[in-house]
Amino acid sequence: MQERNFHLAVDLGATSGRTILATFDGEKVDMQELTRFKYPMIPLNGHLHWNLPLIYEEILTALKKCHDAIKPATLTSIGIDSWGCDVAFFHKNGALSCLPFCYRDSHTDGAADKFCSRMPKETVYALTGIQFMDFNTLFQLDTIKRHSPEIIDSADKILFIPDALAYMLTGNAVTEYTVASTSQMLNPATGDLDPAILAELGIEREKFGPMVNPGHIIGTISKQIQDITGLGAVPVIATAGHDTAAAVIGIPTPDKNYAYLSCGTWSLLGIESPTPIINEKSHEFNITNEGGIDGTTRFLKNICGLWLFERCREEFNDAPADVAALAALCRQSDCESIINPDDPAFAHPDSMIRAISDYCMRTGQEPPTIPADYVRVIFRSLAKRYRQVLEWIRQLSPIDIKRLHVIGGGSLNPYLMQYTADETGVPVIAGPSESTALGNVLVQLRATGSVNSLQEMRKVAIASTQTKTYKPQNK
């Protein structure tokens, strides 16, 4: 039996994160939550920001706890994944120059159109293959460059969130491929940030770290961090820095004939393609090509996910506080109204309940009246949107899609899973809910020599997880 190694996965989502202490016995991964923490968006001077120092402090706290939890053993590696698009700015001395802007900040409303008035959308898509969304890094940087150019001009380094935190731990700056691919600045043909786009932005390539792939060893934690935490010179691995890329790596699939749905605050539905798919049809459908492990492409579409449910939950007065009990209310409603989850009205409304009601009235449908109605409308609408996007992807897919793997927290919602199976007409394999952390750890395992290939990583994923299958039922 192989000696058990300890790995720390830092998994950062929208407004909350956790650290996972994982061990590997040569066959399967065992994961235990070490810490959990929150970092709500900070409203400051009319903008929304992330408290990156707080996140960094929470990572240090986790490293201290890790030292105490595993001694006398040692920590083998650390990996960090997070949401995409957002970046942090650093001065030459390594100090953070300002709090990172949050992708939900409204300062980028209409930003894609503003940039594409100078560089046509057709050109941008041909270069990047990325879905147009106002908060993509390209449009965030263009907005900052127009409104607050001093932020970019004075920055020595511009780093995506997982790379920024790794830089703070090690002093080494890199740009990890999968998270950079969310930016709409990376050219998949060259594997680097596109020079024409950077020229249009007026930002030098040197401000970004060198491009590295998942599994690259960024460096070891600094001597200062070693002294603070009691740990030794632990390697920090550039895992699949984008959380969805990590989650796809953790899918327990024996073959390639599947589509996946990463189901959480956002829904990301796609396939793991051997090559990018960039053509007129993919542009028409606004489907994205993001980087995966070993040169694969995550051909997917971003869909507004359980953000709708989460926001409504905050507004419900006479409804169960328990999430599972609230989700179960969908069985007590017969409301047939359907919304488009990706309508701009649902991006960041003051009231999600009012936005859904207004949409229904605007489209000639009966508006929901009670929490059960809203829950049913949201779940059924998401499932119908999944069906539509899956049909688009089928038209372009080189893969024979025989099932849908659902990963992330939404996989624990039996009602949404059954609606999805019924709508798409394919078996839904739900789980694991911890796919992102698992994928993070699997990359660390390969980087440290415990596994050798993606195929072996998937075998470990199968051995380490349990799933539940939902079959389509007659409506």
pLDDT at 4: 67
Percentage helix, strand, coil for the chain under 3-state DSSP, each rounded to 5: 40, 20, 35
Q: How many domains does the chain have?
A: 2
Q: Same structural domain for residues 222 and 348?
A: no
- Name every residue whose Cβ is closer than 8 Å to that of residue 132 and which is 6 or more positions away in sequence: 112, 121, 124, 125, 184, 286
pLDDT at 3 over 60: no
Over 60: is that where the pLDDT of 266 sits? yes
Global pTM reads 0.92
451 in a structural domain:
no
Residue 442 covered by a domain:
no
Instruction: Say what the pLDDT of residue 257 is.
Output: 95
Residues 78 and 136 in one domain: yes
What is the mean predicted confidence (pLDDT) over 246-256?
96
Relative to beta strand 42-44, strand 47-49 is: antiparallel
217 found inside a domain: yes
Mean pLDDT, residues 382-387 taken together = 98
Task: Give residue-wise pLDDT tens across range 79-110.
Answer: 999 999 999 999 999 999 999 999 999 999 99
Q: How would residue 1 be classed by pLDDT, with cut points 50, 70 and 90?
A: very low
| Position 65 confidence tier, pLDDT thresholds 50, 70, 90 | very high
**236 and 352 share one domain:** no
Work out the pLDDT band at 475, boundaries 50, 70, 90: low
Closest C-alpha to 306, from 387, 391, 374, 241: 374
Contact 29, 79 (CB under 8 A): no
Dist CA 53 CA 238 (whole Å): 20
Q: Give the model's confidence band at 347: pLDDT under 50 very low, under 70 low, under 90 confident, else very high.
A: confident
Segment 317-334 mean pLDDT: 94
Same domain, 198 and 277: no
- Cβ neighbours for 187, distance < 8 A, ≥ 6 positions apart: 127, 128, 193, 194
Domain that holds residue 119: 5-243
Please report the pLDDT score of residue 169 as a whole number.
Answer: 98
Q: Which percentage of the chain shows pLDDT scores above 70?
A: 99
Q: Is the domain of 263 the same as that of 236?
A: no
Mean pLDDT of the region 285-308: 95
Quote the percentage of the chain above a pLDDT of 90: 95
Q: Is residue 475 part of a domain?
A: no
261 shares its domain with 206: no
- Rounded to an integer, the average pLDDT of 245-249 is 97
Q: Quote the mean pLDDT of the chain.
A: 96
CATH number assigned to the domain comprising residue 207: 3.30.420.40
Q: Which of 205, 224, 243 is the last residue of a domain?
A: 243
The model's confidence at residue 356, banded by pLDDT at 50, 70 and 90, is very high
- C-alpha closest to that of 176 among 243, 273, 234: 243
Residues with a catalytic annotation lie at: 243
The stretch 372-387 carries a mean pLDDT of: 98
Is residue 2 scored above 50 in pLDDT? no
Task: Let me know if residue 226 belongs to a domain.
Answer: yes
What confidence score (pLDDT) does residue 86 get? 98
Residues 215 and 351 in one domain: no
